[in-house]
Amino acid sequence: MAIGQLTRVSLPYPTTWDIQASFGGRPTSLGTLFIQSVTNNRVNGAVNFRGTFIPMQGTWNEATRQIAFDTQFASFVGSLFSKDESQLNLRHYVLQGNVLMKPPSIRAGERGTWTALTHVRQC
């Protein structure tokens, strides 16, 4: 997927993101990431890969625009970028990073990459 020129911005919330995880260079999991709140650099929300909402908690570093969060099955780390589409008055947000699967997942120990996308109207 071509993303184009990206710039660093603040993490929007509450937001719903399309998320894709890839292992071995192949997309294997498509789902939804919900970022409910970011308070005192703490991120709360949920992920949904197979129809079940799994709580997630993590941290957000505003200075580096980096996120790290855990679910019961995986640990995610990544960076936030955005691209403005002024003609449509939209900002496209992109989170990209690495994922490590952990027990009790059947993929425990596997490492991969993940990308999450959301779009927010600009006022």
pLDDT digit string (tens) for 89-101? 899 999 999 999 9
Query: Minimal CA–CA distance to 50: which of 77, 34, 70, 32?
Result: 32
Provide DSSP, 5-65.
S-B--PPPSSEEEEEEEEETTEEEEEEEEEEEEEETTEEEEEEESSS-EEEEEEEEETTTT
* Amino acid at site 58: G
Tokens 């490492």, located at residue: 111
pTM comes to 0.86
d(CA 28, CA 49): 10
User: What integer best gives the mean pLDDT of the chain?
Assistant: 89
Distance (Å) of CA 82 to CA 35, 37, 88, 114: 16, 19, 15, 16
Exposure of 46 by Cβ count < 10 A (0-12 exposed, 13-18 middle, 19+ buried)?
A: middle
Q: Give the pLDDT confidence of 24-56 residue by residue, as tens digits.
A: 777 778 999 999 999 999 999 999 988 889 999
The alpha carbon dihedral of 31, 23, 41, 95 has a sign of negative
